[in-house]
Amino acid sequence: MPANVVSQSSRPGLLDKKFKSLGLEYDFDFVLHLPLRYEDETAIHKISQIYPGMSVQLEGVVTHSEVIFKPRKQLLATFKDDTGQISLRWIHFYPSQQKMLEKGGLIRIRGEVRGSSMWGFELIHPKISKAGEALPKTLTPVYPTTEGLAQPSIRKAVLAALSRTVLDDTLPEVIQQKYQLPDFAQAIQALHHPAVGTDPESLTQKLHPAWLRIKFDELLAQQLALAAARAARQQKKSFPMSLKPGKLAASLLAGLEFSLTAAQKKVIDEINHDLQQAYPMHRLLQGDVGSGKTVVAAMAAATALENGFQVAIMAPTEILAEQHFIKMKKWFDPLGIEVAWLSGSLRAKAKQEAVDSIANGKARLVIGTQALIQKNVDFQLLGLMIVDEQHRFGVGQRLSLSRKGEHLLQNQYMVPHQLNMSATPIPRSLAMTFLADLEVSVIDELPPGRTPVITKLFSDNRRDELLAHVRHEVKKGRQVYWVCPLVEESEVLQLQTAVDTHARLQEELTDVRSGLLHGRLNTQEKAKVMGDFVRHDLDLLVATTVIEVGVDVPNASLMIIEHAERFGLAQLHQLRGRVGRGQANSVCVLLYQQPLSKVAAQRLKAMYETTDGFEIARRDLEQRGPGEFLGVKQSGLALMRFADIEADYLIVEKAREAARELRENYPDAVARHLHRWMRGKEDYIRT
Ligand X SMILES: Nc1ncnc2c1ncn2[C@@H]1O[C@H](COP(=O)(O)OP(=O)(O)OP(=O)(O)O)[C@@H](O)[C@H]1O
DSSP state of 641: S
Q: Which residue, 294 or 635, has its beta carbon nearer to ligand X?
A: 294
DSSP string, 297-343: HHHHHHHHHHTT-EEEEE-SSHHHHHHHHHHHHHHHGGGT--EEEE-
Instruction: Count Cβ atoms within 10 A of the Cβ of residue 399 and give its class: 0-12 exposed, 13-18 middle, 19 or more buried.
Output: middle
**Helices and strands (H, E) in the chain, number of each type:** 23, 23
Q: Which of 550, 580, 613, 636 binds ligand X (CB under 6 A)?
A: 550
Q: Which of 57, 238, 261, 501 binds ligand X (CB under 6 A)?
A: 261
Q: Residue 630 Cβ, how far from ligand X at the closest point, in Å?
A: 18
Q: Residue 545 Cβ, how far from ligand X at the closest point, in Å?
A: 14
Q: CA-CA distance, 446 to 288, in Å (whole number)?
A: 8
Q: Which residue, 393 or 666, has its beta carbon nearer to ligand X?
A: 393
Q: CA-CA distance, 652 to 102, in Å (whole number)?
A: 58
Binders of ligand X: how many residues, by CB under 6 A? 20
Q: CA-CA distance, 309 to 416, in Å (whole number)?
A: 10
> Which of these segments, 108-116, 396-404, 407-415, 550-558, binds ligand X (CB under 6 A)?
550-558
Q: Under a CB-based contact definition with an 8 Å cutoff, are residues 309 and 381 in contact?
A: yes
Q: What share of the chain is helix, strand, coil (3-state, %, to 5)?
A: 45, 20, 35
Q: Under a CB-based contact definition with an 8 Å cutoff, are residues 331 and 255 in contact?
A: yes
Q: Residue 554 Cβ, how far from ligand X at the closest point, in Å?
A: 5
> Which of these segments, 403-411, 427-435, 466-474, 545-553, binds ligand X (CB under 6 A)?
545-553
- Interface with ligand X in residues 409-438 (CB under 6 A): 423
Q: Residue 257 Cβ, how far from ligand X at the closest point, in Å?
A: 8
H-helix segments, 12-150: 12-21, 27-31, 95-102
Q: Under a CB-based contact definition with an 8 Å cutoff, are residues 402 and 434 in contact?
A: no
Of 284, 215, 216, 335, residue with least CA distance to 440: 284
Q: Which residue, 445 or 657, has its beta carbon nearer to ligand X?
A: 445
Of 46, 52, 38, 6, residue with least CA distance to 25: 6
Q: Residue 290 Cβ, how far from ligand X at the closest point, in Å?
A: 5
Instruction: Tell me: does residue 260 bind ligand X (CB under 6 A).
Output: yes
Helical (H) or strand (E) element with 51: none
Q: Which residue, 126 or 577, has its beta carbon nearer to ligand X?
A: 577
Of 287, 286, 283, 266, residue with least CA distance to 275: 283
Instruction: Tell me: does residue 538 bind ligand X (CB under 6 A).
Output: no
Q: CA-CA distance, 136 to 150, in Å (whole number)?
A: 19
Q: Residue 303 Cβ, how far from ligand X at the closest point, in Å?
A: 18
Instruction: Tell me: does residue 268 bind ligand X (CB under 6 A).
Output: no
Instruction: Tell me: does residue 291 bind ligand X (CB under 6 A).
Output: yes
- Interface with ligand X in residues 443-482 (CB under 6 A): 447
Q: Which of 104, 258, 413, 460 binds ligand X (CB under 6 A)?
A: 258
Q: Residue 448 Cβ, how far from ligand X at the closest point, in Å?
A: 6
Instruction: Tell me: does residue 264 bind ligand X (CB under 6 A).
Output: yes
Cα 49 versus chain centre, distance: 49
Instruction: Tell me: does residue 580 bind ligand X (CB under 6 A).
Output: no
Q: Which residue, 423 or 480, has its beta carbon nearer to ligand X?
A: 423
H-helix segments, 333-371: 348-359
> Which of these segments, 44-52, 70-78, 172-180, 257-265, binds ligand X (CB under 6 A)?
257-265
Q: Residue 403 Cβ, how far from ligand X at the closest point, in Å?
A: 27
> Which of these segments, 51-59, 254-262, 403-411, 472-480, binds ligand X (CB under 6 A)?
254-262
Per-residue mark of binding to ligand X, 551-570 (x: CB under 6 A): -x-x----------------
Q: Which of 289, 363, 480, 558 binds ligand X (CB under 6 A)?
A: 289
Instruction: Tell me: does residue 192 bind ligand X (CB under 6 A).
Output: no
Of 638, 630, 632, residue with least CA distance to 680: 638
Q: In the complex, which residues of this chain contact ligand X (CB under 6 A)?
A: 258, 260-261, 264, 287, 289-295, 423, 447, 549-550, 552, 554, 577, 581
